[in-house]
Amino acid sequence: MNAAAEFRQVTQVFGDFTAVDGVDLAIPRGRLTTLLGPSGCGKTTSLRMLAGYTRPTSGSVLIDGVDATRLPPEKRDLGMVFQSYALFPHMTVADNVGYGLKLRGLKGADRAARVAESLELVGLGHLAKRKPKALSGGQQQRVALARAIAIRPKLLLLDEPLSNLDARLRVQMRSEIRRIQSETGLTVVLVTHDQDEALEMSDEMVLMRAGKIMQQGAPAEVFGSPANRFVADFLGYENFLQLSDGLISVRPEHVTISAGSIDAGGLSLPGVVADVAYRGVDLLISAVVHDDEGEQVLLSNTRSADAAPVAVGDAVTVSAPAARIVHLTA
C-alpha cells in the first residue's frame, strides 16, 4: 500500500495514563486525512508522534515506508501548523514564510520565488512586507500555512488550525485548505474535534476515542454506516432504539410521523406526539414510543410544507424505510 505515513501498534503512555493505545493507521498519499474525536482522545499526541516531537512508548512510525520512529522532527521533512500560529512578530510576512527555506540553505532569488509562490497560493502576495501584528487572525493563519507549505513538505500536519477563527472565516478557510491541498497534491493530516469540518474537508476520516481508532473511511462511508453508537452519536445521529434484533438509529430527517399507519417495510411503531416545534424550513416533531428498554422520544424533522398536521397528544405511527435504518454494534 502506498501510504505516506503509517503507525504500527503505536502506544503513548504518560505516567499511568495511556493516551494512544496500540494504534494501526495508514495515511493515504496525496489526500487530506482528518483525525477527529472528542477532547483528550489522543489527536494531538498522535500528530506529535507523526511529527517527531514525541516518541512513542512502543510501536513504530513509518514515513514513506521507512521507519522514522527515532528521527527528530527536523529530519522528517514535515510542515506543521498549530492552533496558535506562532509567527515571528519581528519578521515580515515574507521573512516568516522564508524562514524554513533559509534554514534549509535556500538563497537569493530561489528563496524569494518560493516565498512568492507560497504567498500567492494562500492569496497573500500583496501583504508580503507587513508584520504579523498588522494582519487579521485569518491572514495570520494563512501566513502560517504558507510557511508550512513553502518547504514542500512530505506531510503537512495541521492541529486545529481553524479553531481561533470566527465562524464565517472558519467555513471559508475549510475550502481554502481543500483547494490548496488539491492544487499542491500534498498529503495533509488535519486534527479537529468538529464533525462538520471533518465531513466537509476529508478524503479520509479517522474517528478516535480514548486513544483508539473507532472507525476510518471516506466521509460518506463513515457517515452512512457508523460502526457503533459512539461514532453515530459523535456524527449527530439521534433516535437510538433497542429492538429485538439489536440497537438501531435513524436520523430525524428520515423519520415520518403520521396519523395513519404506514408500511414502509422498515420501522413502524405506535407512538404519541409529545411536541411540535415550528422552525421555518421544517417542523420538529417529537413522539414517544416504546422499545425493549422502555419509553423513548423519537424526533422527526419534516419539511413543513409536506407535513400532515399532527398535534400534541395524537396517536401516530412512527416509521422509517428499511434503507435508512442504521444497525449499530453496541
Ligand X SMILES: Nc1ncnc2c1ncn2[C@@H]1O[C@H](COP(=O)(O)OP(=O)(O)OP(=O)(O)O)[C@@H](O)[C@H]1O
Which spans of this chain sit near ligand X (rule: CB under 6 A)? 14, 17, 19, 37, 39-45, 193
Alpha-carbon gap, residue 257 to 271, rounded angstroms:
9
User: What is the grid cell recorded at 258?
Assistant: 403520521
**What is the signed CA dihedral for 62, 67, 68, 71, rounded to 10 degrees?**
180
Alpha-carbon gap, residue 166 to 138, rounded angstroms:
9
Shortest distance, position 106 Cβ to ligand X, whole Å: 33
Q: Which is nearer to ligand X, 147 or 193 (CB)?
A: 193
How far lies 122's CA from each of 126, 130, 187, in Å? 11, 15, 17
Shortest distance, position 15 Cβ to Mg ion, whole Å: 18
Instruction: Write the single-letter amino acid at 243.
Output: L
Q: Which is nearer to Mg ion, 44 or 216 (CB)?
A: 44
> Among ligand X, Mg ion, none, what does residue 251 contact (CB within 5–8 Å per kind)?
none
> Among ligand X, Mg ion, none, what does residue 278 contact (CB within 5–8 Å per kind)?
none
β partners of residue 275? 286
Alpha-carbon gap, residue 74 to 69, rounded angstroms:
13
Alpha-carbon gap, residue 36 to 287, rounded angstroms:
32
> Among ligand X, Mg ion, none, what does residue 96 contact (CB within 5–8 Å per kind)?
none
In a 13 Å sphere around the CA of 155, the CA atoms on its Cβ side amount to 29
Q: Which is nearer to Mg ion, 96 or 195 (CB)?
A: 195
Q: Which is nearer to ligand X, 45 or 187 (CB)?
A: 45
Return residues touching Mg ion (CB under 5 A): 44
Shortest distance, position 50 Cβ to ligand X, whole Å: 12
Q: Which is nearer to Mg ion, 158 or 299 (CB)?
A: 158
Q: Which is nearer to ligand X, 41 or 189 (CB)?
A: 41
User: What number of H helices and E strands is found in the chain?
Assistant: 8, 18
Quick one: how far is CA 165 from the chain centroid? 16
Q: Which is nearer to ligand X, 49 or 289 (CB)?
A: 49
> Among ligand X, Mg ion, none, what does residue 14 contact (CB within 5–8 Å per kind)?
ligand X
User: What is the grid cell recorded at 69?
Assistant: 520512529
Shortest distance, position 160 Cβ to ligand X, whole Å: 7
Shortest distance, position 153 Cβ to ligand X, whole Å: 21
Count of all residues that appear for the chain in the document: 330
Shortest distance, position 194 Cβ to ligand X, whole Å: 10
> Among ligand X, Mg ion, none, what does residue 321 contact (CB within 5–8 Å per kind)?
none
Shortest distance, position 159 Cβ to Mg ion, whole Å: 6
User: What is the grid cell recorded at 182?
Assistant: 488539491
> Among ligand X, Mg ion, none, what does residue 193 contact (CB within 5–8 Å per kind)?
ligand X
